[in-house]
Amino acid sequence: MPAAPPDGHPPSFLDRHLPGLALLRRYRRAWLRVDVLAGLTVGAMLVPQAMAYAELAGLPPEAGFYAVLGALVVYALVGSSRHLGVGPEPGTAILAATGVAPLAAGDPQRYAVLMAALALCVAAVCFIGALARLGFLADLLSRPVLVGYITGVGLVLLSSQLSKLTGVPIEADKFFGRMVDFLTGLDEIEAATFAMGVICLGAILVLRWKAPTLPSVLLVVVAATSVTWAFGLDEDGIKVVGDIPAGLPTPALPDVGWADVVDLLPVALGIALVGYSDNVLTGRSIAARLGYRVDPNQELVALGAENLASGLTQGFPISSSASRTAVPASLGSHTQLVGLVAGVFVAVALLALRGVLYWFPQPALAAVVTAAAIAIIDVDGLRALWRLDRSELALAVATATGVMVFDVLVGVLIAVALSAVAALGRMARPHDAVLGAVHELDGWVDVGDFPAARPLPGLLVYRFDAPLFFANASWFGQRVLHAMDVNPGEERWVVLDFEGVGSVDTTALEALADLATDLADLGVEVVGVARANTKADEHLRRAGLVGPDGPYRAFPTINAAVRAFREAEA
């Protein structure tokens, strides 16, 4: 549920469904100066980025403007984050290009139509997901997998710009093939292209490091454009953007058939999953720092709405940019008025600055994408995984490798599969413990963690820290019997602590029945279940495992089971 508005009243219809508009209705004049400044800064960042990421998606530069104009307005009304910088983003752009290129068969006009249709498919996936309350799907990608995925995307992006940055002809369309083409073609570097590309890239990185609040991308691209125009560098081999169509896009549905939609849906699912995960993670991190809350399900609606706007205006799939999110937050902005101001800035640039945009040099735009690629390669994340858990580092490296060897869409599928396997592995072989009592502590603790803890003679208390289901039911029984073997003494009672067992499926119920028989054969007189929640207890009773004639006795707490054991032994 969305947070209550500042006046303390329950959330209204607008708070629930149009949180951005609800906040704008409560706008304070004191916020205006900072919000406008942040909006102009984001708009200045968007102009070169929109053009660069459109070309990365395989579209003409104006498509970047088309994609962002409606999306900024829509998100300002629908989104629950006050700072999320929506619009073209390199990972989404390259993912879309990977999926659409085989379907377009080299036809540029069909390619553009399919890109717009793909944005609408992403919107449909998001809306259906929101109706089904699937906001939790953002958690399907674990942290190591996200680190690996975004690092792989960053390296793929970097390799995709080598030709534009240096002039070296590259034919391959995968990371390692591109690197081979580049290294074997170094003698074909175009001096002017290489010089401008490297200078622009270096300037962006230095400004980002020394003056992070400045619109470094805009400043560098404007300087490169001025030099290109003043010295006529287009005649010396520097490629420029060229003519951009006049006017704003007219909303329209792309001319595609149902067969095209079916072909686009798998790509749309991947983009929706990755884009949504990125949006929620970015939005949550900023919101947590600034003291408000992002609604995950509302963000699914917002991602659908912004892609709907992009698709209707001949754009392409979009999500959000971490850099365009961090800048308004660092400037102290308060609302998504920032997005509205940025939208006006982009529209003015498209309408009034076409002559300037003509001279934007391609190497400078390649430097923009390369700088973005360098920024998203998560070196810090990989270092943290190296320090904390080498197995999770291996998971991240496997994901990054999948993105680089195959393509970004396959990388998404690998990321989801690896996340699922990792989660299943943890649940299939979870932590467990034999519990003992310590006089200085109030409660029963793991004897492996507390050497002073000792099991009671004749009693084994065992804890399993995962739901009981088909993947771990057999393992659960083996671990209980193993605990019986290594625990000193002869156990007459066994108490299973079910606090960590949230649910029990039918396979687990059968395993519990078999376990009761095995324990009885070993001479165990009483098998108890302590601290089972209502759902698990109900399943145990329906299966006849707990009850007057069942093999298990139910206890509300471990201490209650221990008291019953001591009374029986007295």
Question: What was the pLDDT predicted at 284?
Answer: 79
User: What does the block give as tokens for 538?
Assistant: 């109900």
CB count in 10 Å sphere of residue 190: 19
Residue reference for tokens 């324990």: 519
Give, in order, the Cα–Cα distances in Å from 519 to each of 233, 244, 515, 516. Answer: 85, 79, 6, 5
- β-partners of residue 461 are 435, 495
Asked whether the predicted pLDDT for residue 2 surpasses 60, the reply is no
DSSP 553: E
Asked whether the predicted pLDDT for residue 7 surpasses 60, the reply is no
Question: What was the pLDDT predicted at 139?
Answer: 66
User: What does the block give as tokens for 89?
Assistant: 């983003």
Question: What was the pLDDT predicted at 387?
Answer: 93
Question: What is the mean predicted confidence (pLDDT) over 307-322?
Answer: 93
Distance CA 396, CA 391 (A): 9
Residue reference for tokens 């304070």: 28
DSSP notation for 385-418: HHHH-HHHHHHHHHHHHHHHHS-HHHHHHHHHHH
Is residue 487 a contact partner of residue 434, using CB atoms and an 8 Å limit? yes
Distance CA 94, CA 92 (A): 6
Per-residue 3-state assignment (H helix, E strand, C coil) for 79-121:
CCCCCCEEECCHHHHHHHHHHHHHHHCCCHHHHHHHHHHHHHH
Closest CA to 50 of 35, 71, 22: 71
pLDDT higher for 488 or 177? 177
Distance CA 516, CA 233 (A): 83
Condensed to tens digits (0 to 9), the pLDDT of residues 265-314 reads: 999 998 998 888 878 878 877 887 788 888 888 999 999 999 999 999 99
Distance CA 561, CA 491 (A): 14
**What percentage of the chain exceeds 70 in pLDDT?**
96
User: What does the block give as tokens for 511?
Assistant: 């395993």
User: Could you tell me the sign of the dihedral formed by the alpha carbons of 534, 540, 541, 543, in that order?
Assistant: positive
Question: What was the pLDDT predicted at 231?
Answer: 92
Asked whether the predicted pLDDT for residue 15 surpasses 80, the reply is no
Closest CA to 543 of 529, 526, 524: 529
Asked whether the predicted pLDDT for residue 323 surpasses 80, the reply is no
Instruction: For residue 426, give every residue at least 6 positions away whose Cβ sits within 8 Å of its Cβ, in sequence order, or none.
Output: 466
Is residue 192 a contact partner of residue 239, using CB atoms and an 8 Å limit? no
pLDDT, mean over the chain: 88
Length of the chain measured in residues: 570
Question: What was the pLDDT predicted at 331?
Answer: 77
DSSP notation for 229-280: HHTTGGGGT--B-----SSPPPP------HHHHHHHHHHHHHHHHHHHHHHH
Distance CA 473, CA 494 (A): 17
* Helix boundaries (H) for 105-215: 108-131, 143-160, 162-166, 175-184, 191-210
Distance CA 449, CA 452 (A): 9
Residue reference for tokens 């039911």: 473
- ∠95-167-169 over CA atoms, to 5°? 70
Question: What is the mean predicted confidence (pLDDT) over 537-565?
Answer: 93
Condensed to tens digits (0 to 9), the pLDDT of residues 35-89 reads: 998 888 888 888 888 998 998 899 999 999 999 999 999 999 999 999 999 999 8
pLDDT higher for 271 or 570? 271
Least confident of 7-16, 32-41, 143-152, 326-335: 7-16
Model confidence at 3, pLDDT cuts 50, 70, 90, reads very low
Model confidence at 140, pLDDT cuts 50, 70, 90, reads low
Residue reference for tokens 């990608």: 141
Domain ranges of the chain: 29-163+253-359+379-423, 432-569
Distance CA 54, CA 51 (A): 5
How much is the CA Rg of the chain, to the nearest whole Å?
Answer: 29
Distance CA 168, CA 120 (A): 36
Asked whether the predicted pLDDT for residue 322 surpasses 80, the reply is no
Distance CA 512, CA 540 (A): 9
Asked whether the predicted pLDDT for residue 5 surpasses 80, the reply is no
User: What does the block give as tokens for 514?
Assistant: 């078999």
Q: Which CATH superfamily is domain 432-569 in?
A: STAS domain (3.30.750.24)
Closest CA to 73 of 405, 470, 320, 341: 341
Element (H, E) at 432: strand 432-437
Question: What is the mean predicted confidence (pLDDT) over 377-392?
Answer: 89
Asked whether the predicted pLDDT for residue 264 surpasses 50, the reply is yes
Condensed to tens digits (0 to 9), the pLDDT of residues 217-238 reads: 888 988 999 999 999 998 888 9
Condensed to tens digits (0 to 9), the pLDDT of residues 393-432 reads: 988 898 889 888 887 767 767 777 877 888 888 889 999 9
